[in-house]
Structure 1
Amino acid sequence: MQKNKIFILLPDGIGLRNFAYTSFHKTGVQNFFDIIYWNNTPFDISELGYDEIKINYAKSHPLTDIYKRAKTQIELNLNAKRANDPIYNGYRFKFKKNSTRHFLKYCFVKTLILLYNSEKGLKKIRTKIGKLERKTKLYHDSLQTLKKEKPDLIFSTNQRVMLGVAPILAAQDLGIPTATFIFSWDNLPKASKIIEADYYFVWSQFMKEQLRYYYPHINENQIIVTGTTQFEPHFDVSIFQTKETFFLENQLDIAKKYICFSGDDVTTSPNDPVYLEDTAKAILKLNQNGHNLSIVFRRCPVDFSSRFDTVLEKYKSVITPISPKWINIDESWNTILPTKEDLELQVNTILHTEFVINLGSSMVFDYVSHNKTCCYINYDVSNSVLPNWSVKKIYKYIHFRSMPNKEVVHWINSPDEIYNCIDTIITNNSFQEIENAKKWFKKINQHPPEKASERIWNAIAKIINKNE
């Protein structure tokens, strides 16, 4: 039987967790696909026993970043106008203007925005990006690789990395079908899509409607609902540890119940150390009143800062940090990579903690996969690290509007509410919140969640059959 050859394009390390460490590869092999990872990460995929072709010295065209930035700003302009909603301005990042080079780049971007601030203008920018990337060494190297290997389909593991553009263009110019995966639940309102593929794999019908709304040039038959592989490990009992093993490995007290405090990155939640300290204070009071509780602190995997050190030392009697097992290969932000060991660590952290406290992350879905609840922090602090930052802005973002109702989580609206929130969850069940969170999860991600890899490979097979 002739196997179809599929290239899994890893333009950066963000796709490793979903498409190298889950059951995705195994499922593809079982369905008789010949899978090759087209690898632009510093991670050696062959260590996992998988076939790979390295992408070496990948660089986009020097002007592509300028056009991409203009494209993002124009899309946000049009989204804000279309929806009559200023929240889209909250997705903008400030331009650096602290050097001549940065200032000139800023001026170039602003000029492009003035010239192309329309749907027709966006089309011209997309065309220009394609022309620029076809001039790169990466494009021509990709052509050579594809002509030699003759894959039946290229699947990009995310839609937002510039280094994925040239390989996708090369495939399209050779008549090879291309698909890309929308990586995260909040990506589309942010105007983060840079790759123009033949097909788009999305988490849900809800995300499909979003994609059509934000990118009207994409046809409905180009969008395929598959779900995301990122939740599959929660249903893989082969990686579950016993409580005794997990507690021993992470130096936890078997007599205690643990609550997970899940940290965000410094941009999303600059005041996380204050929230962690407030939680620790509540735990100390709860223990004085008969509970036996502690905190497992899991920081954001890309946060290697020292901002939590003071709190961790001060409250070491009730906080145990269990650091994510990510690696930073050459000390730069774009080479911070997930590991398979961390995927298993995260699953078992969830399995052996009572619930999670955080500020608005998708961990709510990870925990409800185990029938556990989540608390969302919902208050500002005095002397904020970022003076103009507010939690109110976070929950106004578009992806939170998908909530079926506000009772999908427990809301912590002040430091004083942490005590009662924890006490309520530990003492009673959170049946209503869990059931509502399950409804939210079903809206956000195609169910059953453990079948995402299977749905993706079925979709790939259908695309190949259609193009034969």
Structure 2
Amino acid sequence: MTDICFVVSHGFAARMVVYSRVIPLLRGQGLSVVLLVPEGDTAHLNSIAEEMGFRVEVISTGALRGGRLSGWIRPYLFEDVGRNPALRAKHLRSVRRMDARGLASRAFFVLNRAACRIARLRRALVNWQRGKLRSRVVGETVKKLRPAVVVSTYPVNDLEASVLLEAQCLGIPTVGQLLSWDNITSKGRWLVIPDLFLAWGSIMAEELGRYYGVGGERVMCTGVTHFDTHINGVTRPRIVESLERLGLEGERPYLLFGMSSPVFAPTEIEVVEHVARLVESDQFGAEMQLVVRPHPQNVMGSMADMSWLPRLEMLRSSRVAVQFPLMVRSSLPWATEREDMLVLANLIGGCSVCINSGSTLSLDAIIQDRPVVLPLFDVGSQWPWWASARRIGDYIHQRTMIELGGVTVTHSLEETMRAIAVYLADPSVHSAGRRLTRDRELGPCDGRASERVARALQRLVAEGYSAGVRALSG
């Protein structure tokens, strides 16, 4: 029998579960832990599992293909695509394809309009697809593991949804511990809802109630486990070491530009080049430096654009450095090395201003009270909304954060320069908004989120399913 089974289908979830202190704390209490992952290269996870004392179990994704819908189709059946900016942008991108998928997107949008109007049709579609999630292979795996608790990190994923469903059919308590702040509003509807949730902060808790009717004692705000590194792992010597490794001066100020995939910000490389020129020409002072960090999606997977890489390399100088994320080969998309979170946290902790096009890096910076600039615009000719960086500010999770008043959104290169200059002159600008954002988005930020998650799961194992709600709320 297994005490706790974490279902992990994404590299960012591994960072939250494996690279935090959650598993060591659970193991310290004598609890057994299994990481259930999709088939593929698990060598990196296996080495960590041997060190930390948990097991890695692999499940074939081939067991999930029987009649299931592709991920891009599912939102048409279960979401109001026209009213959700993130899903609408994906739809508008898809219908411009000159292939079968483009034609299918048009047809599915017609079905989407009908499903939004006819509740009976929508319920029938949900029940039909939930039936497709049943899997003999997954069911046998869950029975073999016999976990006391199953924790899902990305419930929209087919593998995770199937494990959740099989666990619930067996009467096993299920918990949602979401890997990112956009999972509720931007990824499409989950067909299997965990019984209980470990939410980041009050905004995530409110969204669970609004979109899934889950609230009250079924949700506990724990904070963000891997963000504990921002509180416990950032020191001045580490900041200096990180800069010197990149060839920069460890004691001089610097800007940090965290890039996004070109799918979200197609002309961002030109913004990066512009900021680099400003730094090189002393527009922000004779000592200012720049660190550019591509997003993992910049350099790996279907969202990458390798044509950017030579342009980034050309920026390197005595004052401009490029820090590539420390990626690892894995069955999990966009998986990083364990050290990557520590390096990133220290680069954020020492920066004067953090610039990014709407990624989670905004929250990484805000937890350390670093000023944030969001350049949500296109350089040169304006791209259509569905492809433009402008649309990012319309996404529900981004709009919610922006309205809290802790960041500056810019709409041109000139505005970006001015916003950086304002923060350099007075870093306390928008500090009240950053505090509000930190409290509402991230919950308790005391470096003990891992302890809260481990304690909640430990109580749930000890008290069983009938006491599950009390285990989280007590």
TM range (shorter): 0.7 to 0.9
The equivalent residue for 2:297 is 302
Is 2:234 the counterpart of 1:248?
Answer: no
CA distance in 2, matches of 1:156, 1:378: 32
Change (3 A) 1:185 1:447: same
Deviates more, 1:190-199 or 1:8-17: 190-199
The residue matched to 2:347 in structure 1 has which SS?
A: helix
Pairs within 5 Å for 1:208-227:
208-216=205-213, 218=214, 220-227=216-223
CA distance in 2, matches of 1:86, 1:407: 21
Q: Which runs of 5+ in 2 are unaligned?
A: 300-305, 467-474
Change (3 A) 1:55 1:120: farther
The residue matched to 2:308 in structure 1 has which SS?
A: coil
The equivalent residue for 1:126 is 126
Pairs within 5 Å for 1:7-22:
7-22=5-20
The residue matched to 1:267 in structure 2 has which SS?
A: coil
Change (3 A) 1:261 1:86: closer
Change (3 A) 1:318 1:121: farther
Deviates more, 1:35-44 or 1:153-162: 35-44
The residue matched to 1:380 in structure 2 has which SS?
A: coil
Deviates more, 1:402-411 or 1:17-26: 402-411
Instruction: Please give the TM-score of this superposition, normalised by the length of structure 2.
Output: 0.83
State percent identity of aligned pairs: 18
The AA in structure 1 aligned to 2:201 is S
> What's the CA shift string for 1:333-370, capped at 9, x where partnerless?
x6431221211221121133222112223322212332
TM-fit CA distance, 1:62: 4.1
TM-fit CA distance, 1:279: 0.7
CA distance in 2, matches of 1:4, 1:310: 49
TM-fit CA distance, 1:4: 7.1
The residue matched to 1:127 in structure 2 has which SS?
A: helix
Change (3 A) 1:350 1:121: same
User: Could you tell me which of 7, 26, 29 is aligned with 1:28?
Assistant: 26
TM-fit CA distance, 1:144: 2.5
Is 2:70 the counterpart of 1:72?
Answer: no
TM-fit CA distance, 1:274: 0.9
CA distance in 2, matches of 1:210, 1:133: 25
The residue matched to 1:430 in structure 2 has which SS?
A: coil
Contact 2:73 2:108 (8 Å CA) reproduced: yes
Change (3 A) 1:406 1:36: closer
The equivalent residue for 1:177 is 173
> What's the CA shift string for 1:265-293, capped at 9, x where partnerless?
11111111111112122213325x85211
CA distance in 2, matches of 1:282, 1:109: 47
User: Could you tell me which of 57, 60, 65 is aligned with 1:54?
Assistant: 57
User: Could you tell me which of 250, 266, 275 is aligned with 2:262?
Assistant: 266
TM-fit CA distance, 1:40: 2.1
Is 2:444 the counterpart of 1:447?
Answer: yes
CA distance in 1, matches of 2:109, 2:195: 30
Change (3 A) 1:169 1:92: same
C-alpha RMSD over aligned residues: 3.2
CA distance in 2, matches of 1:340, 1:240: 20
TM-fit CA distance, 1:110: 5.1
The equivalent residue for 2:362 is 364
Change (3 A) 1:73 1:299: same
The residue matched to 1:158 in structure 2 has which SS?
A: coil
The residue matched to 1:431 in structure 2 has which SS?
A: coil
**Count of aligned pairs between the two proteins:** 450
Contact 1:261 1:358 (8 Å CA) reproduced: yes
Change (3 A) 1:79 1:153: farther
TM-fit CA distance, 1:18: 0.5
The AA in structure 2 aligned to 1:364 is S
CA distance in 2, matches of 1:114, 1:370: 43
The equivalent residue for 1:342 is 340
TM-fit CA distance, 1:256: 3.3
Deviates more, 1:32-41 or 1:411-420: 411-420
Contact 2:375 2:409 (8 Å CA) reproduced: yes
The residue matched to 2:457 in structure 1 has which SS?
A: helix
CA distance in 2, matches of 1:43, 1:93: 36
TM-fit CA distance, 1:108: 7.3
The AA in structure 2 aligned to 1:230 is H
The residue matched to 2:127 in structure 1 has which SS?
A: helix
Change (3 A) 1:423 1:181: same
The equivalent residue for 1:89 is 88
> What's the CA shift string for 1:188-219, capped at 9, x where partnerless?
22253434322233222222221222224x46
Deviates more, 1:239-248 or 1:118-127: 239-248
Deviates more, 1:378-387 or 1:302-311: 378-387
TM-fit CA distance, 1:425: 3.1
CA distance in 1, matches of 2:82, 2:196: 22
TM-fit CA distance, 1:391: 3.9
CA distance in 2, matches of 1:92, 1:107: 9
